[in-house]
């Protein structure tokens, strides 16, 4: 079995993401958002709901962060994600196990839940797909589907995440990856919440008099 290419060095990660009109900081903000929303679930929620809400909020975050100039909303085959306006690219979120973000080429992150026929049909298109460091093929006949994989938080709250290009699935398990772009590895200390805006201190204090009748 051919081992997948694992892109982990920050400069290479930034470069490959830029070719896809993606940004690591914004992707990590999406990870934080999805993980926070998932953390509100309790044992009283229905079985599987934390995975459902995590995936749904990851899709929402992708759209909030990237839809506009380069990306649009995509719901092909009821699989929520985003699709590039001009490049044959599509990204869908997936709940991964604790190996999400692992830099070990011998480890294959697994899906935390069963992926449906929509995902399987999409990954079949990846066997002849474009890679971000290659020239764009012409004409474009297929759309390449990448996975925005988010793992569970560990006991310290650290979350692993990656953007991956799978080739094949066996049930719920990706059995082959062509390329894995590591966004964050739990072994490297995880991620802290990334504020979308920087708090601004007030520049003027105003006293307001309140008169009771």
User: Does some domain include residue 165?
Assistant: yes
Whether 114 is covered by a domain: the verdict is yes
Q: How far apart are CA 24 and CA 54, in angstroms?
A: 19
Percent helix, strand, coil in the chain, to 5, is: 30, 25, 45
Q: Is residue 204 part of a domain?
A: no
| Residue 81 located in a structural domain | yes
Q: Minimal CA–CA distance to 54: which of 36, 79, 72? A: 36
195 within a domain of the structure (yes/no): no
- The overall longest dimension of the chain from CA atoms, in Å, is 81
Closest CA to 188 of 162, 169, 211: 162
Question: What does the CA dihedral 127, 178, 107, 182 come to, rounded to 10 degrees?
Answer: -130
Please tell me the total count of domains within the chain.
1
Pairing relation of β-strands 5-7 and 173-184? parallel
Nearest to 64 by CA among 29, 101, 88, 100: 29
Cβ count near 9 (within 10 Å): 10
Q: What is the pTM of this model?
A: 0.76
**Per-residue buried b or exposed e for 168-180, using 16+ beta carbons within 10 Å of the residue's own CB:** ebeeeebebbbbb
The tens place of each residue's pLDDT in the chain, 213 residues long, gives 567 789 999 999 999 999 999 999 999 999 999 999 998 999 999 998 999 999 999 999 999 999 999 999 999 888 899 999 999 999 999 999 999 998 888 888 888 865 554 455 555 555 544 445 444 434 444 788 899 999 988 877 788 999 999 887 776 566 788 899 999 887 655 554 444 334 444 445 555 555 655
Is 164 inside a domain boundary?
A: yes
| Domain-embedded: residue 104 | yes
Dist. CA 84–CA 63, nearest whole Å: 11
Domain span at 74: 5-188
Position 174 in a domain: yes
């Amino acid at each position: 079995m051919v081992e997948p290419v694992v892109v982990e060095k920050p400069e290479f990660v930034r470069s490959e993401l830029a070719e896809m009109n993606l940004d690591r900081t914004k992707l990590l903000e999406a990870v934080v958002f999805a993980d926070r929303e998932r953390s509100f679930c309790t044992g009283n929620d229905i079985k599987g709901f934390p995975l459902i809400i995590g995936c749904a909020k990851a899709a929402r975050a992708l759209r909030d962060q990237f839809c506009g100039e380069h990306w649009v909303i995509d719901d092909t085959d009821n699989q929520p994600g985003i699709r590039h306006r001009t490049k044959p690219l599509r990204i869908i979120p997936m709940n991964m196990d604790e190996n999400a973000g692992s830099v070990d080429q011998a480890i294959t992150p697994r899906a935390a839940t069963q992926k449906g026929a929509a995902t399987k049909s999409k990954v079949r298109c990846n066997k002849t797909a474009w890679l971000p460091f290659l020239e764009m093929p012409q004409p474009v006949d297929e759309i390449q589907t990448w996975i925005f994989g988010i793992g569970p938080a560990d006991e310290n709250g650290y979350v692993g995440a990656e953007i991956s290009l799978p080739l094949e699935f066996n049930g719920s398990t990706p059995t082959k990856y062509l390329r894995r772009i590591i966004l964050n590895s739990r072994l490297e200390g995880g991620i802290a919440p990334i504020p979308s805006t920087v708090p601004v201190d007030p520049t003027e204090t105003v006293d307001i008099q309140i008169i009771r009748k």
